[in-house]
Amino acid sequence: MFVAAALGVVAVLLLGGCGTQVAGRQASPSATGPIPWTIFEPSEVTGARLADGGRTLLLEAQVPSGARACVRDFKALLTDPVQKDLVRVQLTFSSPSGDRSSGCTKERSATARVRLPVPLGSRKVVVDHYVQFTAEGAEPPALRLCGKLGCTPPATGCTDASYDQALMAVDAPEHTYRDSQECDGKWLVMDFSWRTGPACGDDSAPGCSSRLGDRWFFRAEKSGWVPIVEGAAGGCRVVQRRAPAFPASLCRDLAPLSSSLHPSYPPASASPSPSPSPSRPS
């Protein structure tokens, strides 16, 4: 009977250890067991380079670190067949870092490699759906990390793609609309606005036409449109205080932004000091 009871306890323990963890879910230690290891993607992919004649891709990324072991099975896998113009790769690892009590609260750099069926050539590398690298403009064997505008940003100028770069430069809200712009290739002024009400299919519904807006002035540089100053007033005064060379032809006819589009909130006045209490006769 004692043997049977012992076997029953062992069976319960073995069954209790079964199961899988959902990637990225916050883990917590059980009262009787260790902190579970779950599958994550790196917080940041920082570099890429080639080896073996372009057939091996090495990717550097940030992974958890601490006093104890924090990472297992850090690996790079091809997620799709190699295409004519790009290679898609996913980086994953297992870690107990979902629970801060694991001690894995810092980060370190780690490298994973994947063997390509053909040399990379001129193909771009897309890591975890959003990070891109290219050999164009890079010094071999390194690959160049591309920016938010892709591996070949638009030339600075009076084009829609270049205007989008200007909006990124001033951190415009998502779903911003360009209302108007004046541009000569070297200087730019842009008015834009964004919805503040509920998501609507019909702007005529109550609350659906609510918007806020702004106006920014830019100068062209090698990196793209660079913000000079923001200002809702009409004319050239605001920008020419900061950049006297800004051409009057682009700003002299600017009307002030409406108060509904660009409200002005004066600083709160100081609270009045309480009047002294009248003295009481002793």
pLDDT for 93-112, tens place per residue? Answer: 999 999 999 999 999 999 99
CA distance 249 to 229: 17
In whole angstroms, what is the distance from residue 194 CA to residue 178 CA? 9
pLDDT for residue 34: 82
Q: Which of 83-97, 124-138, 265-279 has the lowest mean pLDDT?
A: 265-279
CA dist 188 and 220 (Å) reads: 8
pLDDT-wise least confident of 24-38, 162-176, 253-267: 24-38
Which residues touch 43 (CB under 8 Å, ≥6 apart)?
61, 62, 107
Summarised one tens digit per residue, pLDDT across range 197-235 is: 666 665 666 566 678 999 999 999 988 999 999 999 999
Q: Give the sign of the dihedral formed by CA 20, CA 40, CA 88, CA 130.
A: positive
Q: What is the pLDDT of residues 136-155, one digit of tens each?
A: 999 999 999 998 878 888 88
* Average model confidence (pLDDT) across the chain: 83
CA distance 94 to 23: 9
Peptide bond into 267 cis (omega under 30): no
Distance CA 251, CA 246 (A): 8
Contacts of 50 (CB under 8 A, 6+ apart): 56, 57, 58, 120, 135, 140, 141, 143
Residue range 36-71, pLDDT digits in tens? 999 999 999 999 999 999 999 999 999 999 999 999
Let me know: does 275 contact 225? Beta carbons within 8 Å: no
Domain boundaries, the chain: 38-145, 160-197+209-250
pLDDT attached to residue 8: 40
Q: Residue 195 belongs to what H/E stretch? A: strand 187-195
The DSSP-derived string for 84-103 is SSEEEEEEEEEESTTSGGGS
* Alpha-carbon span 50 to 250, nearest angstrom: 48
Q: What is the pTM of this model?
A: 0.60
pLDDT at 281 over 80: no
- The beta-carbon contacts of 225-228 under 8 Å, at least 24 apart in sequence, are 225/156, 225/162, 225/163, 225/165, 225/166, 225/169, 225/188, 226/169, 227/166, 227/169, 227/170
Q: Please state, for a pLDDT cut of 70, what percent of the chain lies above it.
A: 77
List the structure tokens of 59: 């990717």
8 A C-beta contact, residue 215 and residue 236: no
* pLDDT of the residue at 27: 45
Q: Dihedrals φ, ψ of 196, to 5°?
A: -120, -5
What pLDDT is attached to residue 154? Answer: 82
162-205: per-residue pLDDT in tens?
A: 999 999 999 999 889 999 999 999 999 999 999 886 666 656 66
Cα–Cα separations (whole angstroms), residue 243 to 18, 29, 129, 223: 67, 59, 40, 18
- Kindly state the tokens that stand for 36: 């579970």
Name the residue with higher pLDDT: 28 or 240: 240
* Angle, alpha carbons 118-109-49 (nearest 5°): 25
How many angstroms separate the CA atoms of 193 and 173, rounded? 9
Phi, psi of 6 (to 5 degrees): -65, -40
- The whole-number pLDDT of residue 192 equals 96
Structure confidence at residue 4 (pLDDT): 39
Q: Is the model more confident about 8 or about 70?
A: 70
